[in-house]
Structure 1
């Protein structure tokens, strides 16, 4: 994994939208109106959101039905390009507050309120990737989820 040569600037609001757009365009993808709408809807959620939640909210906002399958495709593109993080155990997504930065996904997931906190730990990532490498396994996107109760619900 090595040392990160980037800043961990946390973006929000318009800054997050601009960073996400720039990151996706830099990856050779287009920042379409639909992709912008999906990202904006995802970013307004503090807790992980499902593709169905996003599709329902966008349908109401746009005044016409938005298919969950279309949202899933966009969310998968966002995950591939580090604009979004996927909480595997709940099949839900969070906007990456530092788009374009590549980190292994380590989540603390509350079983009561559903909050998922993303944690960056180079030590844990190095250890997990080393374990995979020792077994001749090429780790692409390690995901670690720790289920429990958050401080607010405790």
Structure 2
């Protein structure tokens, strides 16, 4: 059985998470614009994975004018590529990465009842998947591991 490697992170929230995300994006050579900040703040405030439409609605309400979901999708794609957010593939939704400066592959546990997503860091398991894919001739591998069930709060 693979051991779970626990990463010790401080888990910033609110403005400190937004500030860490801004630093990580600028360090990656991208600009941190007002719109990107608003999208990230709206994403980070969500209690469960959110769609681009959910984020567009939250930003629209905060701005007092409509923001197109297409604009939000482009920003979310940048955030995923820059490790500021993660995409929950099975739900076509996104969550803010609570530690944007740390790159590792996550295993997501998604509750079918309340919709919350919890991530596990198990480098042994995701590493084994990457090695198996490399052995099959794949390159540029990005493990996407999602387990669906009922969380302990809903059970």
Q: TM-score, normalised by structure 2?
A: 0.92
Q: Is 1:43–1:95's contact at 8 Å kept on the other side of the alignment?
A: yes
Structure 2 Cα separation of the partners of residues 17 and 150 of structure 1: 28
Q: Per chain length, whose mean CA-contact separation is higher, i.e. which structure has more relative contact order (CA < 8 Å, sep 6+)? A: 2
Q: How many residues align?
A: 150
Aligned to 1:72: 73
Helix, strand or coil for the counterpart of 1:117?
Answer: strand
SS in 2 for 1:109: strand
Report if aligned partners of 1:132, 1:139 keep a CA contact under 8 Å in 2.
no
Give the TM-score normalised by the residue count of structure 1.
Answer: 0.93
What are the ranges of 5 or more consecutive residues in structure 2 without an aligned counterpart? Answer: none
Q: Deviations over 1:28-74 (max 9, x none)?
A: 00000000000000000120011000101111111111000000000
Kindly state the Cα deviation for residue 115 of structure 1 after the two structures are TM-superposed: 0.7
Tell me, which stretches of 5 or more residues in structure 1 are unaligned?
none
- Distance in 2 of aligned mates of 1:29 and 1:7: 27
| Cα contact 1:81–1:100 (8 A) shared by 2 | no
- For 1:38 and 1:65, locate their aligned partners in 2 and report how far apart those are by CA, in whole Å: 13
Match of 1:62 in 2: 63
